[in-house]
Structure 1
Amino acid sequence: MSLKAQLTDDMKAAMRAKESERLATIRLVLAEIKRKEVDERIELDDAQVTAVVEKMIKQRKDSITQFEAGGRQDLADIEKKELSVLTAYMPAGLSDEEVAAEVQAAIAASGAAGPQDMGKVMGILKPKLAGRADMTAVSAQVKKALAGA
């Protein structure tokens, strides 16, 4: 079953179970997917749907940080609930060791010799690790590995 179909089924289940918070979050995701499909005139596949969910997760994390800094714990709690619903739709994350192994493999495959080759390495890693690892942390690992190369 595709991720989009799973979201639709989960929306129906949330309606039947009267889970209003979960339902609202799933509707947000589906609306964002629909917006992107209409804007680009394409049908999103699972990788693109995952990218949409990943973007929404990043937005929620940023919002939580801002709300807590501003002393609005009530709004931060709402964002945290949405974040927990969104993370359920992401693929299983990779461990730090698995990410490090992927970084080393990508460096070897690209023949990167130093920091100037970071774009090549990230170009290899992004499709493999998108949604399964924090790309900011991956970028930092690549930078560190290339600095030592």
Structure 2
Amino acid sequence: MSLETTINESIKTAMKEKNKVALDSLRAVKAQILLLKTEAKGADISSEQEIAILQRMVKQRKDSYEQFTAQGRNDLAEVEDAQMKVIEQFLPKQLSIEELEAEIKKIMSEANAESIKDLGKVMGIASKVLAGKSDGKSISEMAKKLLS
């Protein structure tokens, strides 16, 4: 089942349950998918593109949450956090720190990366292999840590 179909079913469920936070979050995801489809001129969008949309939306909400928390606006921060949790349900299971470290070590050995000079090579491979399983910031931080 495609992400769009899953989102539509979840929207129906959220409407029946009168879950405003979930409904707002799911409608935002649906809008982003429709926007991407429009840009693609009706072509099917890949699962990688769908994951990228979800990751971008989670990152936006995480950034907003941090800003609102820093400004003492906990009421707005709670809404962002709740929306982030709803959207994260549609992402693949995220890697733990230990799993991420193991994956990056494996990529480093395959790419013969030994120093920080090889960061670009490692990041290029890791970004593709770990797409949807971890965010770019975590991948980058772990790769820098392991290469230095």
TM normalised by structure 2 equals 0.90
Instruction: State the match for 2:115 in structure 1.
Output: 114
Deviates further, 85-94 or 9-18: 9-18
Instruction: State the match for 2:68 in structure 1.
Output: 67
Q: CA separation in 2, counterparts of 1:78 and 1:144?
A: 34
Paired residues, number: 147
Letter in 2 for 1:21: V
Runs of 4+ in 1 over 3 A off after TM superposition: none
Instruction: State the match for 1:145 in structure 2.
Output: 146
Q: Contact (CA 8 Å) 2:33, 2:53: kept in 1 or not?
A: yes
Q: CA separation in 1, counterparts of 2:69 and 2:97?
A: 28
Q: Deviations over 1:103-142 (max 9, x none)?
A: 1111111122321211111111112212212321221121
TM normalised by structure 1 equals 0.90
Instruction: State the match for 2:19 in structure 1.
Output: 19
The question of 1:80 aligning with 2:81 is answered yes
Q: CA separation in 2, counterparts of 1:100 and 1:22?
A: 33
RMSD: 1.5
How many percent identity over aligned positions? 37
Instruction: State the match for 1:39 in structure 2.
Output: 39
Letter in 2 for 1:140: E
User: Which runs of 5 or more residues in structure 2 are unaligned?
Assistant: none
Q: CA separation in 2, counterparts of 1:52 and 1:13?
A: 22
User: Which runs of 5 or more residues in structure 1 are unaligned?
Assistant: none
